[in-house]
């Protein structure tokens, strides 16, 4: 099985997103965690106009730098105290929410002779990372500003639409903007960065209701798989390529079979009790890729008309090909675009052969 990555399409998607953000005064950190931190993708994002390369994993940032990326690196998973030395070397900036970790980062940056940029995360209701109490936000900002000589307080940020699935509405963005203004008053100077979230905040740019104070987003999905804006939020995005990542898998078996399993239905290998629709006898094919490779069969998008994913086990994907436009045979290769989760699994799986095209 091959994962084909089209770098010109990736660069084009990046430019479409960054130019729209730029027009609204918003810089874009290109987030490579969804594509396993492939350095080639980081370089395409850099060429496409991103302001930073970002990831939740330090190894991704280190590899991007080693491959020649020149943009500032942003660590977007709040770091642990034990990682401080590596964080200040691999990343120019990190998102943070704990004073004790900031203290370690300050020491590590001092020891390495570096100045490390800090964005304090605000909790606005999604209930993942962030400072909930405003007094704590003010206190932490003042602590970094006055006492941590090797850190530079760049700004504040928020994450939404993850654990709590909370929508980055204009009101939430306004809340962040107001918090930024009050934080600026507390420290007595302006903040460079107010980071308003991830791909899910990009609709604020499209709708033209992003508060002016918000000047950065951290975007992966909109650039990489580019499917959620249209599928989930109903925005027309003809300008984005939805096939930057394509899985190509070999056909192993093609047979006419009943569509409903025969016998007593128990549990599948993943402890689910699936429901099967009886559509009579139909032609089906098996390709050589499975849940171990991509996690979520329902998030694969067959690129050939008349091919439908009907299920998968660890190493087999089962397709209905009754209505396929050609007579498929073992040895043929079928292509699938995908949503975010399969990209994330495939690009990180040890057995995936990754091929770059332009």
Assigned token pair, 95: 């998102």
Q: Which is nearer to ligand PLP, 195 or 317 (CB)?
A: 195
**Region near ligand PLP per CB under 6 A, out of 37-45, 135-143, 216-224, 306-314:** 216-224
Q: How far is the CB of 139 from ligand PLP (least distance, A)?
A: 22
Q: How far apart are CA 15 and CA 271, in angstroms?
A: 43
Nearest residue to ligand PLP, by Cβ distance, number only: 220
Query: Footprint of ligand PLP on residues 220-249 (CB under 6 A)?
Result: 220-221
**Residues 6 or more apart whose Cβ sits within 8 Å of residue 18:** 28, 48, 49, 50, 51
- Site size toward ligand PLP (CB under 6 A) is 13
Query: Footprint of ligand PLP on residues 35-64 (CB under 6 A)?
Result: 56
Q: How far is the CB of 147 from ligand PLP (least distance, A)?
A: 26
Query: Footprint of ligand PLP on residues 144-183 (CB under 6 A)?
Result: 159
**Region near ligand PLP per CB under 6 A, out of 96-104, 212-220, 288-296, 316-324:** 212-220
Asked if 34 touches ligand PLP (CB under 6 A), the answer is yes
Q: Which is nearer to ligand PLP, 72 or 110 (CB)?
A: 72
Asked if 97 touches ligand PLP (CB under 6 A), the answer is no
- Interface pick for ligand PLP out of 11, 13, 18, 33 (rule CB under 6 A): 33
Asked if 15 touches ligand PLP (CB under 6 A), the answer is no
Asked if 31 touches ligand PLP (CB under 6 A), the answer is yes
HEC string of the chain equals: CEEEEEHHHHHHHHHHHHHHHHHCCCEEEEECHHHCCCHHHHHHHHHCCCCEEEECCHHHHHHHHHCCCCCCEEECCCCCHHHHHHHHHHCCEEEECCHHHHHHHHHHHHHHCCCEEEEEEECCCCCCCCECCHHHHHHHHHHHHHHCCCEEEEEEEECCCCCCCCCCCHHHHHHHHHHHHHHHHHHCCCCCEEECCCHHHHHHHHHCCCCCCCCEEEECHHHHCCCHHHHCCCCCCCCCCCCCEEEEEEEEEEEEEECCCCCCCCCCCCCCCCCCCCCCEEEEEEECCCHHHHCCHHHEEECCCCCEEEEECCCCEEEECCCCCCCCCCCCEEEEEECHHHHHHHHHCCCCEEEEEC
- Interface pick for ligand PLP out of 198, 289, 338, 344 (rule CB under 6 A): 198
Q: How far is the CB of 77 from ligand PLP (least distance, A)?
A: 6
Q: How far is the CB of 220 from ligand PLP (least distance, A)?
A: 3
Q: Which is nearer to ligand PLP, 15 or 33 (CB)?
A: 33
Q: Which is nearer to ligand PLP, 33 or 241 (CB)?
A: 33
Asked if 14 touches ligand PLP (CB under 6 A), the answer is no
Asked if 199 touches ligand PLP (CB under 6 A), the answer is yes
Q: How far is the CB of 62 from ligand PLP (least distance, A)?
A: 18
Closest CA to 194 of 120, 144, 106, 99: 120
Catalytic residues: 33
Q: How far apart are CA 144 and CA 154, in angstroms?
A: 10
**Region near ligand PLP per CB under 6 A, out of 217-225, 236-244, 271-279, 281-289:** 217-225
Q: Which is nearer to ligand PLP, 216 or 317 (CB)?
A: 216
Question: What is the phi-psi region of residue 156: left when phi exceeds 0, alpha when psi lies from -120 to 50, beta otherwise?
Answer: beta
Asked if 126 touches ligand PLP (CB under 6 A), the answer is no
Q: How far is the CB of 307 from ligand PLP (least distance, A)?
A: 27
Q: How far apart are CA 285 and CA 312, in angstroms?
A: 11
Measured in residues, the chain has a length of: 358
Asked if 218 touches ligand PLP (CB under 6 A), the answer is yes
Q: How far is the CB of 354 from ligand PLP (least distance, A)?
A: 19
| Contacts to ligand PLP by CB under 6 A | 31, 33-34, 56, 76, 95, 159, 198-199, 218-221
């Amino acid at each position: 099985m091959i994962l084909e990555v089209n770098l010109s399409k990736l660069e084009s998607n990046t430019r479409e997103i960054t130019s729209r953000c730029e027009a609204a005064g918003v810089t874009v950190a290109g987030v490579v965690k969804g594509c396993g931190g492939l350095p080639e993708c980081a370089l395409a994002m850099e060429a496409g106009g991103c302001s930073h390369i970002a990831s939740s994993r330090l190894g991704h940032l280190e590899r991007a730098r080693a491959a020649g990326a020149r943009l500032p690196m942003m660590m977007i998973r709040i770091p642990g105290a034990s990682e401080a030395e590596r964080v200040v070397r691999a990343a120019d900036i990190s998102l943070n929410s704990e004073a004790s970790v900031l203290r370690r980062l300050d020491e590590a940056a001092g020891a390495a002779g570096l100045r490390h940029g800090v964005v304090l995360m605000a909790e606005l209701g999604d209930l993942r990372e962030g400072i909930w109490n405003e007094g704590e936000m003010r206190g932490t900002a003042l602590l970094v500003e006055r006492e941590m000589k090797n850190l530079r307080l760049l700004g504040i940020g928020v994450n939404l639409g993850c654990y709590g699935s909370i929508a980055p509405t204009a009101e939430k963005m306004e809340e962040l903007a107001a918090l930024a203004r009050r934080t600026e008053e507390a420290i007595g100077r302006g903040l460079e960065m107010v980071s308003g979230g991830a791909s899910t905040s990009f609709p604020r740019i499209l709708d033209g209701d992003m508060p002016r104070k918000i000047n950065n987003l951290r975007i992966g999905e909109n650039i990489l798989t580019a499917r959620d804006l249209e599928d989930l939020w109903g925005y027309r995005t003809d300008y984005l390529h939805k096939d930057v990542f394509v899985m190509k898998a070999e056909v192993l078996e093609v047979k006419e079979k009943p569509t409903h399993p025969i016998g007593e239905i128990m549990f599948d290998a993943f402890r689910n009790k699936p429901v099967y629709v009886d559509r009579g006898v139909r032609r089906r094919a098996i390709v050589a890729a499975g849940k171990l490779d991509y996690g979520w069969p329902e998030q694969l998008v067959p690129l050939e008309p008349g091919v439908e994913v009907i299920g998968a086990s660890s190493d087999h994907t089962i397709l209905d090909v009754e209505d396929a436009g050609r007579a498929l045979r073992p040895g043929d290769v079928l292509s699938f675009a995908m949503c975010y989760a399969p990209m994330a699994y495939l690009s990180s799986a040890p057995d995936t052969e990754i091929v770059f095209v332009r």
